[in-house]
Amino acid sequence: MNHLPIDYKSIIMRCDNIRHQAYKNLPESAQLEFYHTGMESVWKDIQKASGEFSSKSDKEILDYFRNRFCQNIPLLEKRCLFLKNKYTDQYIGTCMAWESMKDNQEIPILHWLAVSRQFSGRGFARILITQILQLFETYYPGRAIYLHTQPSSFAAIKLYHDFGFNICQKDTYGTAVNQFEDAVNILKDIMFEDEFKELINDSVI
């Protein structure tokens, strides 16, 4: 598989039925923490450590977070989750149980999943997704859950699919663009063949 370079194309995924067998429990060494005032720097550091915002300055990342999310602090304090080592207080990853609009209704979206590269491959992304989906089961029971991703996140796409997220051929939400055809043409060259075939077979309109 040729992993580089990987062009950006917009991918929409939707979970109509959560596969609970994909859930992973919180290990004894880790603990969860919701956003509180001042944690925008923690969010910024995790995103950078995961490889996001590589061309942006710290100020640009912080400005993005404040402009995009700090307009609704009460929601942020209930939906922006951080995972950390409870013995060292080192932050591991973050994810949001956020919301967007579709057909004039609020919908749940799994948003900004990131795990610091030094902790990758140890199941922490699966733990974060589990926690976010459990929040959605409380706040949006029985509702379809959406997310937006891209081909370079092909490992995460496989993980999302484990939880019941399927790639959408046409469906979208908010202002997100669906580039299904272009995206799958890239994914077929960078994913394992059996995983790609399963992803496409399970795709939804």
Residues 109 and 158 occupy one common structural domain = no
Q: Supply the range of the domain harboring residue 109.
A: 24-139
Beta bridge partners of 32: 83
Q: What are phi and psi of 188, to 5 degrees?
A: -65, -20
Number of helical H runs and strand E runs in the chain: 7, 7
- 161 and 191: one domain? yes
Peptide bond into 5 cis (omega under 30): yes
pLDDT at site 3 = 47
Residues with Cβ within 8 Å of 154's Cβ and at least 6 positions away in sequence, in order, are 6, 187, 190, 191
Taking a C-beta distance cutoff of 8 angstroms, is the pair 113, 130 a contact?
A: no
Residues 2 and 82 in one domain: no
**In the listed set 87, 109, 139, which residue is the last one of a domain according to the structure?**
139
Q: Tell me: do 32 and 120 sit in the same domain.
A: yes
Residue where one domain finishes, among candidates 85, 113, 139: 139
Q: Give the pLDDT confidence score for residue 51 in this predicted structure.
A: 94
Mean pLDDT of 99-123: 97
Mark whether 33 and 89 lie in a shared domain.
Answer: yes
Please state the rounded mean pLDDT for residues 131-148: 98
Residue 17: φ, ψ to 5°: -140, 115
Q: Are residues 100 and 41 both part of a single domain?
A: yes
Q: Are 44 and 74 in the same domain?
A: yes
Q: Are residues 103 and 201 in the same domain?
A: no
Give the pLDDT confidence score for residue 4 in this predicted structure. Answer: 61
Query: pLDDT tens-digit profile of 5-18?
Result: 899 999 999 999 99
pLDDT, tens only, 47-89: 999 999 999 999 999 999 999 999 999 999 999 999 999 999 9
pTM here is 0.96
| Res 2 pLDDT > 90 | no
Which amino acid, one-letter code, is at 66?
R
Are 135 and 151 in a shared domain? no
**Shared domain check, 107 and 62:** yes
Whether 85 and 164 share a structural domain: no
- Report the alpha-carbon angle 148-151-152, nearest 5: 105
Can you tell me the mean pLDDT for 135-150?
Answer: 98
Average pLDDT over residues 132-160: 98
Residues 33 and 2 in one domain: no
The total of structural domains in the chain comes to 2
The C-alpha atoms of residue 22 and residue 202 are separated, in whole angstroms, by: 16
